[in-house]
Each structure stands twice: as C-alpha cells, then as structure tokens.
Amino acid sequence: MKREIKFRVWDSVYLNWKNPEDYTYTELFLDDKYIVQQYTGMIDEDGKDIYEGDIIFCKVYYGIENRIGIVDYFASSFIVDWRNQIDDPLDEIPDIKVIGNIFENPELLK
C-alpha cells in the first residue's frame, strides 16, 4: 500500500510553522533551524493528519486509560513513545486523537 509523502516544517528560530513547498531541499534539510517532520500516512479520529512530533491521546489501550504519547519515527516505522512505558507501533493503536505537538504544546507532556 502506498502512502502520501508529505512534510511539515518547524522554524526553531521564529517558533512557527513553515510551508515546506516554499523552501529548497538544501534549505530545509541542511539548515539546523528547521525541524522537518514526516506525515505518518494516518489520520486521527477527527480526520486530522498525524505527523512525527504530534502528541496523541488514546482513551484505552491494553487496559490503560487516558494514555498520552508522542509520535516518533524509529527503526523505519512510526511508533508512539508513551514516556516511561514501552513504545508501541502507531498503526496498532485505536481511536487516536491528535491533541497538540511537541513545539506548541509541551505542557501536555507534564
């Protein structure tokens, strides 16, 4: 199955999102001020695209309620880092809701 390849870009100097189509490959991937995040090919329960760095919420997963984790890319697959718990493959987690991202909403991880 093919998935759509797209990215979003965080400017760590100006602290805002950039349109990746406005920049060259060299600008985005070789300039340390830009943080490039890849689309996972999945959407949340509200139809929102899920990217690396998104903070997700899951009501119940393996008997644990109200889980919050960070979407990450590791060993050629997308995972959810549950922070202090075992990571799980993103595509195995039901009823995901994106509630923020690591740049704009770090307080959600406290």
Tell me, yes or no, whether 96 lies in a domain. yes
Tell me, yes or no, whether 78 lies in a domain. yes
Tell me, yes or no, whether 21 lies in a domain. yes
- The predicted-structure confidence for 15-40, as pLDDT tens digits, reads as follows 999 999 999 989 999 999 999 999 99
67 pLDDT band, cuts 50/70/90, is very high
- Residue among 62, 54, 103 at smallest CA distance from 79: 54
Provide the percentage of residues in the chain whose pLDDT is more than 90: 79
Question: What's the CA gap between 55 and 82, in Å, rounded?
Answer: 10
Tell me, yes or no, whether 86 lies in a domain. yes
Domains: count for the chain: 1
Tell me, yes or no, whether 2 lies in a domain. no
Please state the pTM of the whole predicted model.
0.91
Residue 50's domain is classified under what CATH number?
Answer: 2.30.30.290
1 pLDDT band, cuts 50/70/90, is low
Say if residue 43's pLDDT is above 90: yes
- Provide the pLDDT for residue 22: 95
Tell me, yes or no, whether 68 lies in a domain. yes
Provide the Cα torsion 39, 10, 69, 100; round to 10°: -100
Going through the chain in order, the beta strands assigned E by DSSP cover: 7-11, 16-18, 34-43, 49-51, 54-61, 64-74, 77-81, 88-89, 96-101
Tell me, yes or no, whether 76 lies in a domain. yes
Look up the domain containing 81 and give its range.
Answer: 7-109
Tokens read off for 95: 């009823």
Return the higher-pLDDT residue of 84 and 102: 102
Say if residue 65's pLDDT is above 90: no
Tell me, yes or no, whether 56 lies in a domain. yes
